[in-house]
Structure 1
Amino acid sequence: MADQFDPRMTGSRQPGPTYAGDVRSEAFDAGLRSYMLSIYNYMASGILLTGLVAMLFSWGGAESMAAQVFGGPGIMKWVIILSPLAIVFAMSFGQNRFSTPALQFMFWAFATLMGLSMSTIFLVYTGESIALTFFSTAAAFAGLSLWGYTTKKDLSGWGSFLIMGVIGLLVAMLLNTFLLPPEANYTMNLVISGLGVLIFAGLTAYDTQKLKSMYAYVAGTDMMGKTVILGALSLYLDFINMFQFLLSFLGSQE
């Protein structure tokens, strides 16, 4: 240890605890980057799959499969709408029981079902406004996630507040759908959409920092692959929800 302060050592890096620590730090940073990149790749692939399925299912306008399924009274539309929610609950609460390949399959199934569920936006909004909203959401998501990854500010205190905000949104949406008079729906929709954008913007930064901090606990363990899939699911949900709420502002109807 004394050699570190020996003037004769100036200009030459000697192996020792500090050097070994630097090597471990570089290896940790490289592993962290690979881990986060895997999460982003899964998330982006899921969003791409959802978009492709939504476009194909809505192809043909009023004659599309989406118009026929969601325009009728059949039970199929409720299966498509509720199935993604069931998969999210299964993945979140059953992660310890499922293998990594099983979670991967469930993630791709979820992204596919979300595409079927979201296909109706192509029947309601113009393609140009959907594209504008998508790229606006992508830019906002990238900035928020980058900030969550790089900030030194501890965002863990945001978690309970943001989850309460999501629950409040769900309650407000139910009230708006079933209890409020039609003349109040439009204004309430705008309020809900504005709050939704803000809440999921906050969740994007919060989830990114949370996933980054989890790497130290899962690196080199069997949970690594599962954490990547579940992390991709979290960021996917943040992106999709922010996109849908933002579409209420930027979307131009057909």
Structure 2
Amino acid sequence: MPEQPYIQGNGEFGLEVVGESFYREEIAAVAQNRADERAWVYCTATLVPEDTNPHDTEAVGVFIAGSKVGHLSREHARIYRGLTWARNPSSSPALVDAVITNGMHIGGKAYSYTVELDLPSSPALASALPIKYPSPIRRNGEPKLKEKDGKWSAVVWLPARRHELHKHMECMSWTTENWDTVNVYVLNRQGIGLGFKLLGTPKPFWLSTFGETEPQISLDLIEPRVGLLSLQPD
């Protein structure tokens, strides 16, 4: 039996799976996040060529923990078929690192999960390497701020890759009268709108800690998609 190839990534998790909304229950079974918290789970996904798919014989299904969670897009299915199985058509399905995020179920609304794969544009197959996530590693997608020496900080998931963020990774807080949280966002590359949500904190905690004045907010990369968010009362 051929050895199962393992595709080495670069930590950017730059390829989003499509069709996740059709597999919410299957993804939730892996994520196991609380309804009021976003998921943040590292795991291993299996890419399975679906030669008999009635809609697209070039399709590539994505499976996690034995359950289907979506597909590669038509474009990426063809790219990775050429890069992976064309080299060894008899090989078994390929493994790749994956991350599951989002997926809150709050206020009567179920938000979709996001499944992203650590697939670089030129994958290297390395069957001999140990799998990075043999079992899911679950982190809190809604991390709590912790105080040290007058500064508050939290390790956060970055919803976008570095080149999609503001060049200085500028951040801001935002809330409305109707929200019960104050959220912190990192601006997008264009600096338009709120950008990408990093963290939400209960409004009473925020006001008692930072008051009505915007704190000094900074974001530093720890990993390609993980940052250290720091807030200093002004």
The TM-score normalised by the length of structure 2 is 0.24
Higher strand share: 2
Larger relative contact order, structure 1 or 2 (CA cutoff 8 Å, min sep 6):
1
Give 1 or 2: higher helix fraction. 1
In the superposition, the TM-score normalised over structure 1's length comes to 0.23
